[in-house]
């Protein structure tokens, strides 16, 4: 955790300084990289609009357009030597040069709100405290337990904070057929690990008023802070009427955060993998081996849930999630203080409050233990993994997939398998999908070399501004070869 939350918590009154300091820091890293992209590519914005959802809401989910050819990705071992995209005829229409546009005035207002540490009670915790721009908008506000620390001492959110990059692609919560030959519809999408909201605007209230997160008492309190903020005039200009009533302020705040988080800046597609798709970069032999193991059903079969289309030159087709839900059965995180209570469980999707009148019910007990499949973009710069933050190293996560079923004692040392799911729901945990459909003491689907290769491949999913962070993470992993 690089952000020193304590040092930022003591801002007694709104001053322009916090904003300047925080946003400068971020802008210097993000926009420097964005600029480098812009400078390489001569000419103005010729951005390609993604075909899937915008604004976290209006479009049909899970309908990322993929050409038929690209969806027939072969999984043979020979793929490691597959030519890079540049050497093949384009499969879909040629895409224009990649540019990441600068933030618009409206998006900038959202950015200011996102960085505003006065919007908590006591002041000091902004959205960015838990979604740290330095670590690809993930992080837990300095918490050491794996779940995010709130604005008050000793208060913690229930879960590990996900990255808020690429949220524009998260479809609203819905049921749909997962595969063409499925008979029953399954859940997809919705924001958070359990689909608790459909849009950023709708979601933004939750952390602001959650006593364990930003702990504001009322809309009036938040509205007062917005009125006194250094960006109040910008807010009123870009969102007319925003400062007139607390309700109008909340509405404007939600919209501003939404336009910021769903801006193209927050979905930059500037990773090495994206350049590989565009035919502008080569993956190393190790990374290529990882890519193959990632999609090969006899190896990781990760692609089934963390979907990518390496033959498509459209990065938006490879979001590394289907937005479906799965019960992976991750180990209980005993570092979470609240977990001292053996009856305390996070049941995930089945705790979601179902809106009335929907035919299919997310509170069906069969969804207990299921969490939304996270995107793996920028996963290599995360410090905590899984909804409960139980893992601290990316390599451990991959190793967990390899040996969860073949050597469960490595992961559940306390005896009970799937020990973070209550007994009565343990049969919900997925034991049928690759790679965890093996029996105890079978050889694991992935050996150590495969695991290292997948980690190397996952590191190629890191966007430009964060690439330097991988070296740190890799050094950390190399010096900690304790992974089973």
Binding map of ligand HEC across residues 86-125, x = CB under 6 A, - = no contact = ---------------------------------------x
Q: Kindly state whether residue 374 participates in binding ligand HEC, applying the rule CB under 6 A.
A: yes
* C-beta of residue 378 within 8 angstroms of C-beta of residue 473: no
Q: Least distance in Å: CB of 280 to ligand HEC?
A: 25
Report the 3 state secondary structure along 454-481. HHHHHHCCCCHHHHHHHHHHHHHHHCCC
Burial class (CB in 10 A: 0-12, 13-18, 19+), 81: exposed
Residue 18 interacts with ligand HEC (CB under 6 A): yes or no: no
Closer to ligand HEC at the Cβ: 38 or 348?
Answer: 348
Is residue 450 involved in binding ligand HEC (CB under 6 A)?
Answer: no
Among 82, 108, 131, 404, binds ligand HEC (CB under 6 A): 131
Phi-psi region of 278 (alpha: psi -120 to 50; beta: other; left: phi over 0): alpha
Cα-based angle 99, 104, 110 (whole degrees, multiple of 5): 120
Q: Are 318 and 310 in contact (CB under 8 A)?
A: yes
For the window 237-276, what string marks contact with ligand HEC as x by the rule CB under 6 A?
Answer: --------------------x---x---------------
363 binds ligand HEC (CB under 6 A): no
Cα distance between residue 446 and residue 402, in whole Å? 5
- Total of chain residues touching ligand HEC, rule CB under 6 A: 55
- For 399, residues 6+ apart whose C-beta sits below 8 A from its C-beta are 446, 451, 483, 484
Of 291, 242, 314, 293, nearest in space to 66 by CA = 314
Number of Cβ within 10 Å of residue 39's Cβ equals 8
Integer CA distances (angstroms), 364 to 134, 198, 330, 352, in order: 38, 19, 21, 10
In the complex, the smallest distance separating the C-beta of residue 231 from ligand HEC, rounded to whole angstroms, is: 14
Nearest approach in angstroms of CB 388 to ligand HEC is 7
- Candidates 14-22, 95-103, 382-390, 408-416; binding stretch for ligand HEC (CB under 6 A): 382-390
Please work out, in degrees rounded to the nearest 5, the angle formed at the alpha carbon of residue 47 by the alpha carbons of 45 and 50: 160
Indicate the residue among 38 and 232 with the shorter CB distance to ligand HEC: 232
Binding mask 276-295 for ligand HEC (x = CB under 6 A): --------------------
- How far are the Cα atoms of 145, 200, 205, 457 from residue 210, in angstroms, in the given order? 19, 16, 8, 37
In whole angstroms, the minimum distance from the beta carbon of 340 to ligand HEC comes to 20
Q: Does 208 bind ligand HEC (CB under 6 A)?
A: yes
Tell which one of 352, 382, 404, 438 touches ligand HEC (CB under 6 A). Answer: 382
Question: What is the C-alpha R_g of the chain?
Answer: 22
Question: Is position 146 an interface residue for ligand HEC (rule: CB under 6 A)?
Answer: no
Contacts (Cβ under 8 Å, ≥6 apart) of 227: 243, 249
Residues 6+ apart with CB under 8 A from 474: 459
Residue 330 lies near ligand HEC (rule: CB under 6 A):
yes
Report 21-80 residues binding ligand HEC (CB under 6 A). Answer: none
Residues across the chain: 484
Residue 276 or 400 with smaller CB distance to ligand HEC: 400
Q: How far is the CB of 219 from ligand HEC (least distance, A)?
A: 13
Window 164 to 183, contacts with ligand HEC (CB under 6 A):
164, 167, 170
Query: E-strand spans in 157-196?
Result: 174-176, 186-188
Q: What count of other Cβ atoms lies within 10 Å of the Cβ of residue 249?
A: 25
The DSSP element (H or E) to which 223 belongs, if any, is helix 219-227
Of 43-51, 206-214, 225-233, 467-475, the segment contacting ligand HEC by CB under 6 A is 206-214
* Candidate segments 61-69, 85-93, 173-181, 190-198, binder of ligand HEC by CB under 6 A: 190-198
Segment (H or E) for 371: strand 371-372
CB of 38 or CB of 136, closer to ligand HEC: 136
Q: Measured from the CB atom, is 276 or 371 closer to ligand HEC?
A: 371
Binding residues (CB under 6 A) for ligand HEC: these are: 125, 127, 129-131, 141, 148, 150, 157, 159, 161-162, 164, 167, 170, 191-194, 196, 200, 203-204, 207-208, 213-214, 257, 261, 300-302, 304-306, 326, 328, 330, 371, 373-374, 376, 379, 382, 385-387, 394, 397-398, 401, 430, 433, 435, 454
């Amino acid at each position: 955790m690089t952000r020193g939350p304590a040092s930022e918590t003591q801002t007694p009154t709104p001053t322009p300084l916090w904003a300047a300091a925080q946003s400068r820091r971020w802008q210097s890293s993000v926009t420097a990289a964005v600029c480098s992209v812009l400078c390489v590519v001569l000419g103005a914005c010729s951005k390609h609009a993604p075909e899937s959802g915008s604004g976290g809401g209006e479009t049909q989910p899970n309908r990322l357009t993929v050409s038929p050819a690209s969806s027939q990705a072969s999984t043979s071992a020979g793929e490691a030597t597959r030519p890079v995209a540049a050497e093949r005829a384009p499969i879909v229409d040629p895409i224009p040069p990649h540019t990441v546009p600068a933030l618009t005035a409206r998006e900038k207002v959202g950015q200011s709100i996102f960085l505003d540490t006065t919007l908590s009670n006591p002041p000091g915790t902004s959205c960015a405290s838990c979604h740290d721009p330095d670590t690809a908008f993930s992080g837990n506000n300095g918490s050491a337990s794996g779940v995010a620390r709130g604005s008050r001492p000793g208060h913690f959110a229930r879960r590990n904070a996900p990255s808020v990059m690429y949220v524009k692609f998260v479809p609203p919560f819905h049921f749909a057929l997962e595969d063409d030959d499925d008979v029953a519809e399954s859940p997809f999408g919705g924001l958070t690990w359990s689909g608790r909201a459909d849009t950023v605007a709708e979601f933004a209230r939750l952390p602001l008023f959650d006593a364990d997160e930003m702990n504001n008492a009322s809309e009036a309190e938040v509205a007062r802070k917005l009125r006194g903020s250094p960006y109040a005039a910008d807010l009123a200009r870009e969102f007319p009427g925003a400062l007139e009533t607390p309700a109008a302020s909340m509405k404007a705040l939600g919209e501003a955060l939404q336009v910021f988080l769903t801006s193209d800046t927050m979905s930059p597609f500037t990773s090495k993998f994206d350049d590989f798709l565009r035919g502008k970069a080569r993956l190393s032999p190790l990374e290529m081996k990882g890519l193959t193991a990632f999609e090969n059903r006899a190896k990781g079969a990760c692609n089934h849930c963390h979907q990518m289309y390496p033959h498509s030159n459209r990065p938006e087709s490879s979001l590394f999630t289907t937005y479906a839900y799965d019960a992976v059965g991750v180990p209980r995180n005993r570092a979470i203080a609240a977990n001292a209570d053996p009856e305390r469980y996070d049941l995930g999707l089945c705790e979601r409050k179902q809106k009335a009148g929907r035919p299919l019910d997310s509170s069906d007990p069969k969804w207990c233990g299921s969490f939304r499949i996270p995107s793996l973009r920028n996963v290599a710069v995360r410090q905590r993994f899984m909804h409960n933050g139980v893992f601290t190293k990316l390599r451990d996560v991959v190793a967990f997939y390899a040996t969860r079923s073949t050597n469960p004692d490595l992961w559940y040392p306390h005896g009970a398998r799937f020990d973070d799911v209550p007994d009565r729901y343990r049969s919900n945990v997925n034991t049928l999908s690759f790679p965890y459909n093996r029996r105890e003491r079978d050889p694991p689907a992935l050996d150590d070399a495969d695991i290292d290769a997948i980690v190397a491949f996952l590191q190629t999913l890191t966007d430009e501004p964060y690439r330097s962070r991988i070296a740190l993470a890799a050094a950390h992993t190399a010096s900690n070869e304790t992974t089973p």
